[in-house]
Every structure is written in structure tokens, then in C-alpha cells.
Structure 1
Amino acid sequence: MTNLSSRIQNLRINDWIAAQRDGSDNPARWRRFAKTMLATFAGGLAICYAFILIVDPYQVVPFSPPMPRPNIDTSQRHFYPAIIRHGNFDSIIVGNSTSRLLNPDIFDAHLGGRFANLGMNAATAWEQMQMAGLFLRVRGAPKTMIVGLDQAWCDQRADQPGHILTIRAFPDWMFDDNPWNDFLYLLNGKTLETAVRVVMTDLGHGRIRLGANGFSVYTPPDDSYDLAAAQHRIWGDREHKVVPVVPSVVLSDAERAALRFPAHPWLDSQLAANGAGTRTIFVWVPASIAVLPVPGSRDAAVEEACKADIDAIARRHGVTVIDWRIASKLAADDSTFWDPYHHRLPIAQRIQNDLFKALAGENQAPDGAWVVREHGR
């Protein structure tokens, strides 16, 4: 056996020496190798692309075959356009993650219509209006539009790089009116991974993250709530209290005139485009006092100016404005929140119920948790 192995090894060495002496066919061998590798790569790429086009996880391919395509991804920016285009909805909720716990089914029952919740994690004001604009172009003016407002709408740099978009990829190619340019963006690892997950979910080996109407309870189960952990997320190592500024800062006319809120014209334009047939409701969502502007501070005066500007837009378009983003007992109660910005599911349910009370004519909550700034039509 040892002699046989030695002979085989000698033959390989001799073949290698001969190949080095006679290099005339080496370029041909390399060409054959390169062609084989290129063909293998191109074939694999074609198979992956064909798989993506057939599965069509984002529902943008006009000729993809009919099949269940569950909303399995955490990137709402990629899945909501399909909900708009292929769902049977006439009303919408837009906002960021602080609006995602508003249940469309509840609004269906109380306000009429068919609601979709299109709130996106960390959505900027510009991204929210892109979603509302797409709905308008594809489905027509919404019957009802609820807009969840927070500090993003008071961002004085909302139109600058780093504020228009976040680090999350925004697929603007899904928001235009040309379906054919979508093909340029589908061949990538993320889309392939999503397509595989869609198939696996259809086979019973995945989890549907978003309902057909865009809704999901994205927070942990409420019975797992840990107040001490929440307080650490809310306050960190700071003292658990806020000291108001006395006397309160009052902006001068010149300071007020110098303020700019670039996102407000986008909202104004969207309401004008929707037209008078759309019932619109603005909801300033609650936040912990740990992150609200300190009462009496200049930041608080600036935010109030921002809200007053939103009120003026609301009056022009007959919009109801309900403000939960105030320094109330609810905002001071740490058990309201999972973290400084995100409230618990029972609070979302209260926001819904109290919204209907506000629309019925109530002006404020008995416990001061909210106040109606504008009564619309």
C-alpha cells in the first residue's frame, strides 16, 4: 500500500513538472476554468433572481404567480406599500412606533371604514408623509386619517440629511408609480433572505409579524412587565424627578418668528391634497416626563410654539387635535411606559377609547392625561 501511494504521488509530481515545462496549454486551461466559474456564478445568480421574482416577497412583481405572502418582516417600510396597494382599506393611521399599538379593528367599529395601521419604527415626519402620499395616489383620499404626532414633528432640522431618513433603509422605489424600476432593487441578499422566510412561513416554519392591516402588538406581553427594568430604561442613573424652571421662559416675538418647523408644510400639503372629504385626527402621543421638555424651560416654550403651529394647520383643515404629550400624572407614572417613549398596551387601548370621547365633544380627561386643542369637523 505504501509503494502504491508513493507511485501515485510521484505521478502527480511528474505531471506537475511536465505542465510547468510545457506551459503552452496553461492559458487555455485558465480560460476554461474562468468560463466555468463565470457560468456557475451567472447560473446561480439567475436561479436566485428567478426565485425572488416568483416568491415576490414585497408584492411588487406584476407577473408573479398567486400564492400566500405573509407580512413576516420587521421592516414596515418594505411591507406597507403592498398593504396599501393590495389591501382593501379606505382609512389609515400614520406615525412612528408610538402609534403602532392603535388597533385598526377598533377604529373600524367606532368610526366606520376599513383602517390600516401604517406606523413605522423610528419613522421620520418625511417618511410618514410618503406613506400617506402613496395611499392617496393608490387608494384615493382616505375616509379617515389619524396622525400620531411626537417630537419628530417639532424637529427644526427635519428637512436636513440625517433627519429626513434614518439608518433604516427607505425603499423609495416602492413609493413611485413605476413598477418596472423595482426590478433594479430586488436582487440582493436581504430580499433573497426575505423570500426564503416567506416560503418557510407558508410551510409553517416562520412567524407572521404584521397583520393584513399592518397591526401587531410589538411590545412584550404585558404580564411580563417589570417596573424596575422600565424605570432603568426611562431614567438611567438620573434622579426620578423633573424640576420645573421658574420663572417660565417666554419667547419673544423675534424668537418665535425665527423658529422653523420644516415638517409642517408637508403635513399641510398632504391635508390639502386629501381634500375636505377626509376626516383627520391628530393625536400627540404620550411620553414620559423624563424626555418631555422641562416645564418652564426654553425647550418647553419651543415645543408649545410647534404645537400652536400644528393647531393653525388643523384649523385650516377642520382637524381635531388631541394632546397626550403633556406633563400629566400619566406621564409622570413610570408604570405607563416600557421606556421613555413607548407606552404599554392598556394605555394604547385607553388612547383609543378616550379619542372617541373627544370626538363626541369632551374637552379633556378628568385626570388631566389629555386635552383637546382643536375640535374639527
Structure 2
Amino acid sequence: MNSSISSSDPARWRRFSAVLLAVAAAVLGLIVAATYATDPYDTGRSNLLPKPGVRPQGPRTAAASRGRDQAYNATIVGNSHIQLLSPERLKTSTGLDFVQLAVPATGPKEHFTLIEWFLRHRERPVRALIVSADAMWCNPDPAMPNDKPFPFWLFSQSPLEYLRGLLRYDILEETPRRLGYVFDTDAERARPDGYWDYEPDYIGLGYDRDPVLRQRLEQKPHGKAALVEHDPLAGKRRFPTAEKLREVARTLPAEAALIVVFPATYTNFQPPPGTEPAYHDAACKKAITEAARSHAKSAVVDWRVQRAENQEASLFFDMSHYRQPIARAMEADIAQALAKLN
């Protein structure tokens, strides 16, 4: 066998393997160092490229930049069930600078991560925290599970977890895009306040007129729920989200208002009174409300009830995604609640 490294020379193979591993480790270290310095999602961990904001992208990653933007002293946190609330309209009615940190298809675990990120990066007093508590907040599982991926590493306080998060292919793709955004003076910036009006998307898919899609509103998910005289689990239900919210409420600055919103849902999506799902929902709301009230400056805006707007099919795209008229009405209730707290 003609080779400078003979298979009968184990020592040479070991040296070759060691050199190969050392080179690979060095290359990997350089890649991580470069991506860390580039700070592809503008987390503020590196000041090498100080241009604020990020290029247009999904809210999962854009939230890291938006959540630490000092232009805002108030935030809205939740998923697509609250994303139609407009920071601009709320500023007009309240005078506060809101940033939308709503991320579609997320649950309470993600919401608390975003809340903590926002609060951790305030350099001026927080004035308001609006938290959307939809049906996912009523899951009794303490793990607060959600089946959609979320970059928890991006918002972690642990430097090691953040560095591990940089070891992925999509970061290699994002780094040159970040450089293009930073050095191109005409590069488009993702909307700083995070607002995303989903109405055009739903209309484009026919949710306002397609007979098959409209028919879905007539379904009754709780139609088979039996009537029961009393809550079979009265006093035994536990809601980990309420416990976590209580922790947030107790550590929130005294001057900050905490507004919990139970977002609007179509009438058929709400469980009939006297059924086990209705008792569960009522117990969940009560636990979350009590947790919020552990903060002196707090209020609850409940739209997950049987009210006239929630019985109007034309105001909904599906069971839990409403249209602008309801969003504006919810904003008015929030503004009124904030006014009473000041």
C-alpha cells in the first residue's frame, strides 16, 4: 500500500486524527465567533454591527430585536388571537408606545419567554403589559406544551445555550443576510412595532366567502358535552399558567399596568354553560384573573364570553380569528381599562 500514513502505523493515524479534529474544532470556533459577532437577529449580545432592527422576517426571530427596542414602553404578548391589536391605534388612545410581540402558533411557555425578554431589556419604566390568555392557557400540563418550534435559545439568559443555538444551518444562511441589511443603506427594515394585519391573508385564502370555509363556523366543538349539575373537579383544577403569571405580576414594576385579555372567540367555539368544558374554562379564567390581581395595577378584559359581536359570523374568519371591527372594540376596552388604572 503506497501511502505516507501506513495502516500499520497507529501512532501516525492518531496524530492525523488529532490534527483533523483540531482543525475542525478551530473552524467551528471561527464560525461561532463570526456569527456571534454578527448577531444575526439583533439580540444586542454583540455591538460590532450596531444598526438597529432586522430585515423583514417572521416574528419568532424578529421579536428578539423588537423586544429590546427602547422606543417602546409597553407591549402586547400572545399569538395570532391578539396580533390584530394595533400599536398605532393603542398609542392614539392611550399615549403609550406599544410593540406587538404576538407570535402565531405559540402558547404560554413562549409568551412568558417573550415577557421576560421585554422586561429584562427595559431602560425606561414599563408602562403597560398586555397579555393574551386564550384557551391554550387553560392546559393543566405544567410543561406548557406546544407542538410548534420556537427559538427559546435566542431569548435565553444562558450564554452557553445561546452559543449552542448558533450551531445550526439556518444561522449560516442568516448571517450574510444580516450583513446585507447592515451595510445596505437602502435595505428594508422589518416593521419595528411588530404589527401584522392578517386580514388580507385570510381574505386572499377565501375565508370571508368560501362556502366550505364559512360552513366551519357552524360546527360546534362542544356539542356533545353533557350537562352536569356541578363542576366534577371543583377545587381540584390546577393551571400552571396562572402560577407563572402570578410570579410575573409580583415582580412587575409598581407603575406598570398589567392587562390580561381573554381574546374573542366565535359563539360556537365557547362551551355551553353547565358542561364540564364550561366549568373548566370558568375555573381557568378565575385562576388567571386572581393571579393578575396580585399586581396592584391590573385589570382583565374578557371577550371570551357570549356577547353580540361574538355571535356575528361576518366578524370572524374562523372560530378564534376575528376581524378588524372586533379588534378595534377590544382596543377600546383595553384603553378604558388603562385609563381607570391611571
- After TM superposition, the score normalised by the length of structure 2 is 0.79
Q: Indicate the residue corresponding to 1:287 in structure 2.
A: 265
Is 2:60 aligned against 1:80? no
Supply the AA of the counterpart residue of 1:131.
L
Match of 2:156 among 161, 169, 175: 175
Is 2:139 the partner of 1:155? yes
* Deviations 1:332-351, CA, capped at 9 Å, x for gaps: 33322223222223432332
* Structure 2 unpaired stretches of 5+: 8-12
Give the match for residue 198 of structure 1: 178
Q: Give, as a single letter, the amino acid of the residue that structure 1 aligns with 2:287.
A: D
Name 2:252's counterpart in structure 1.
274
Which amino acid in 1 is paired with 2:134? D
Q: Could you list the runs of 5+ residues in structure 1 that have no partner in the other structure?
A: 1-22, 362-375
After superposition, the C-alpha distances for 1:53-73 in whole angstroms (9 at most, x for unaligned) are 453212244242334542432
Aligned in 2, Cα 1:263/1:224: closer, same or farther, shift over 3 Å?
same
Aligned counterpart in structure 2 of residue 258 of structure 1, from 204, 216, 236: 236
State the number of aligned residues.
Answer: 333
Contact 2:132 2:262 survives alignment (8 Å):
yes
Mapped to 1, the partners of 2:221 and 2:2 lie a distance apart of 83
CA contact (8 A) 2:37 2:48 kept: yes
Secondary structure at the counterpart of residue 64 of structure 2: helix
Q: How does 1:1-377 map to 2 (within 5 A)?
A: 23-25=1-3, 27=5, 49=32, 52-60=35-43, 61-67=45-51, 69-76=53-60, 78-139=61-122, 142-157=126-141, 159-160=142-143, 163-172=144-153, 174-176=155-157, 178-179=158-159, 182-200=162-180, 203=184, 210-220=190-200, 224=204, 226-227=206-207, 232-233=212-213, 235-236=215-216, 240=219, 249-252=228-231, 255-317=233-295, 318-357=297-336
Give the Cα separation in 2 of the matches to 1:231 and 1:205. Answer: 44
What amino acid is the match of 2:326?
I
SS in 2 for 1:24: coil
Check conservation: 1:84, 1:138, Cα contact below 8 A. Answer: yes
Q: Partners of 1:139 and 1:259 in 2: how far apart?
A: 35
CA contact (8 A) 1:96 1:123 kept: yes
Cα deviation, residue 228, structure 1: 5.8
Residue pair 1:231, 1:334 contacting (<8 A) in 2 also:
no
Which one-letter code corresponds to 2:95 in the other structure?
Answer: G
Q: Specify which structure has the higher proportion of helix.
A: 1
Determine the C-alpha separation between the residues in 2 that align with 1:339 and 1:231: 12
Match of 1:20 in 2: none
Q: TM-score scaled by structure 1?
A: 0.72
Q: Distance in 2 between matches of 1:311 and 1:94?
A: 17
Between stretches 118-127 and 224-233, larger displacement belongs to: 224-233
**Cα distance in 2, alignment partners of residues 222 and 173 from structure 1:** 30
Distance in 2, Cα, partners of 1:102 & 1:213: 11
Deviation at 1:261, TM superposition (A): 1.1
Larger mean CA deviation between 33-42 and 166-175 belongs to 33-42
Distance 2:3 2:206 in 1: 73
> Percent of aligned pairs with the same residue?
24
- C-alpha distance 231-39 of structure 1, shift in aligned 2 (>3 A): farther
Q: Note the C-alpha offset of 1:172.
A: 3.6
- Residue 299 of structure 1 and its aligned partner are, at CA, apart by 0.6
Q: Aligned AA for 1:108?
A: K
Q: 1:28 to 1:247 in 2, by over 3 A?
A: closer
Alpha-carbon separation, structure 2, partners of 1:296 and 1:191:
51
**Residues 217-241 of structure 1, C-alpha deviation per residue, up to 9 Å, x if partnerless?**
24435764735656644654x8556
